[in-house]
């Protein structure tokens, strides 16, 4: 418990320290995002548009079986959403905001990647209805994850 609090605190501190440096840290182009989704997924397209607007190059890949592709890529099924993306060495599951993706790429933690499990209303690409609170998880390995960023609906 203590370790977890310390970890959260040090991450918050690291994030705060990195803020003024962010523009210079982000000098290069971000890696391209390869997005694996089904042909009928409209909200996946919404998320891709969000990434493009944030400066990412997006390559869409239509697959018949999104779940099988998730398995193949290595994102644990417990964090499943509607699409799985590969960005650099990381996997991104679901409607993860570009700001979290950039922070992940800046910090380069040892992890599988990020996941916004399910389909949280209000997340990028899911802008309809009443927004809800949701957590973006840092998936370290199968069965081990922690909150990377909490997103409040307000």
**Site residues (CB under 5 A) for Cu ion?**
43, 82, 119
Residue 108 has φ and ψ, to the nearest 5°, of 50, 55
In angstroms, give the least distance from the CB of 30 to Cu ion. 21
Measured from the CB atom, the residue of 80 and 105 that comes closer to Cu ion is 80
Measured from the CB atom, the residue of 7 and 68 that comes closer to Cu ion is 68
Measured from the CB atom, the residue of 43 and 111 that comes closer to Cu ion is 43
In angstroms, give the least distance from the CB of 123 to Cu ion. 8
In angstroms, give the least distance from the CB of 16 to Cu ion. 31
In angstroms, give the least distance from the CB of 117 to Cu ion. 11
Distances (CA, A) of 79 to 15, 30, 35, 141, 151: 24, 24, 16, 11, 17
Residue 105 has φ and ψ, to the nearest 5°, of -70, -30
CA atoms of 115 and 139, how far apart (whole Å): 7
Q: Confirm if 106 and 22 have CB atoms less than 8 A apart.
A: yes
Distances (CA, A) of 1 to 14, 15, 59, 111, 143: 20, 21, 41, 20, 17
CA atoms of 125 and 45, how far apart (whole Å): 7
In angstroms, give the least distance from the CB of 122 to Cu ion. 12
Measured from the CB atom, the residue of 43 and 139 that comes closer to Cu ion is 43
Measured from the CB atom, the residue of 8 and 62 that comes closer to Cu ion is 62
């Amino acid at each position: 418990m203590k370790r977890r609090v310390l970890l959260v605190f040090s991450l918050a501190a690291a994030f705060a320290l990195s803020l003024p440096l962010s523009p210079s840290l982000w000098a290069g182009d971000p890696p391209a995002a390869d997005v694996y989704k089904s042909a009928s997924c409209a909200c996946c397209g919404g998320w891709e548009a969000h990434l493009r607007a944030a400066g990412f190059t997006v390559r869409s890949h239509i697959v018949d079986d999104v779940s099988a592709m998730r398995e193949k890529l290595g994102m644990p099924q417990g964090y499943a959403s509607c699409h799985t993306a590969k960005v650099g060495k990381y996997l991104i599951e679901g409607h993860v905001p570009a700001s979290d993706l950039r922070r992940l790429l800046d910090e380069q933690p040892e992890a599988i990647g990020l996941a916004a499990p399910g389909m949280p209303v209000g997340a990028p690409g899911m802008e309809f209805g009443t927004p809800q609170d949701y957590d973006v998880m840092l998936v370290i390995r199968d069965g081990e994850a922690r909150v990377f960023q909490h997103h409040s609906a307000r």
